[in-house]
Amino acid sequence: MQERIPDSAAFFQQTGEDYARFRPRYPAQMYSWLAEQAPGRHLAVDIATGNGQAATELALHFDKVIAQDAAQGQLDVAEKHPKVEYQQAEAHQTRLPNACADLITVAQALHWFATEAFYAEVRRIARPGAFFAAWGYCDARITPAIDTIFEPFHRGVVGPYWPTERAIVEAHLRTLPFPFREVEVPPFELQQLLTREGFVRYIGTWSCTQRYRTATGKDPIPQLDSLLTPAWPDNTPLTVRWDLFFRAGYVQ
């Protein structure tokens, strides 16, 4: 794969608060499984931590978590936890000691930086037997009526503004190189209760939505809210489900 480190931080600098409030939260059973794969419980490193939701959950299983992100705007609103240390850093330059990490994780971000330089950094900071896991999600599903409204908006309005890396997410990360000893991950379900307001503000954190705003000078979120209103009454929480997928294995 051609060596390229995109400036993904630019997409997320200005949306940290909404990102923290409206992005879905991963299941607790997933973190327990990840911890069981690690050779120890001393240190987990969460790369591209965003709002820190994975880091704070990992802190329930590890003595310490170092959570890094290139976007300071994300770190400014990240969840606080006494066992989590936040640091601003690029994924391929963590500045961490050699052979320090029992577990290295990347949540919904590997498509931005799955390069030889990043994988080399993972090998450098991994202790013997360390476990690496990257995961992502896509294809929100709510109800048939709402999905019928949302999908044309997604594909026809904001979808054309996805960065090219989005294709990697839609391929469930299977098009990426994975130089570690890969293992099969048990099925975990990703779902969250959201009101219509919460859902449209979640869509507002998408990189394609931000690029649409930049390109057109318009905000598409009021349009989406108006489209969804007849099928999704105010203040009515509904379960949103996403496909959750992984690339995971032991660092060699």
Tell the residue number behind the tokens 């029992």, with chain if given: 102
CA 104/CA 38 separation, integer angstroms: 9
* CATH architecture, range 9-250: 3-Layer(aba) Sandwich (3.40)
Greater model confidence, 221 or 8: 221
For the residues 216-243, what does the mean pLDDT come to? 96
The predicted-structure confidence for 79-122, as pLDDT tens digits, reads as follows: 999 999 999 999 999 999 999 999 999 999 999 999 999 999 99
150 to each of 18, 155, 172, 185, how far by Cα in Å?
20, 9, 21, 30
pLDDT of residue 11 exceeding 90, the answer is no
The predicted-structure confidence for 12-63, as pLDDT tens digits, reads as follows: 444 556 656 767 899 999 999 999 999 999 999 999 999 899 999 999 999 9
SS3 per-residue string spanning the chain = CCCCCCCCHHHHCCCHHHHHHHCCCCCHHHHHHHHHHCCCCCEEEEECCCCCHHHHHHCCCCCEEEEEECCHHHHHCCCCCCCEEEEECECCECCCCCCCEEEEEEECCHHHHCCHHHHHHHHHHEEEEEEEEEEEEEEEECCHHHHHHHHHHHHHHHHHHCCCCHHHHHCCCCCCCCCCEECCCCCCCEEEEECHHHHHHHHHCCHHHHHHHHHHCCCCHHHHHHHHCCCCCCCCCEEEEEEEEEEEEECC
Per domain, the residue ranges of the chain are 9-250
The predicted-structure confidence for 172-195, as pLDDT tens digits, reads as follows: 999 999 999 999 999 999 999 999
pLDDT of residue 178: 97
pLDDT of residue 16: 55
| Nearest Cα residue to 219 out of 205, 231, 209, 229 | 209
* Residue 66 contacts residue 46 (beta carbons within 8 Å): yes
Exposed / middle / buried, residue 28 (Cβ in 10 Å: 0-12, 13-18, 19+): exposed
pLDDT of residue 2: 32
CA 229/CA 209 separation, integer angstroms: 19
Six token digits for residue 1: 């794969």
pLDDT of residue 252: 86
pLDDT of residue 20: 61
| Nearest Cα residue to 34 out of 109, 107, 142 | 107
For the residues 196-206, what does the mean pLDDT come to? 94
pLDDT of residue 23: 75
pLDDT of residue 19: 58
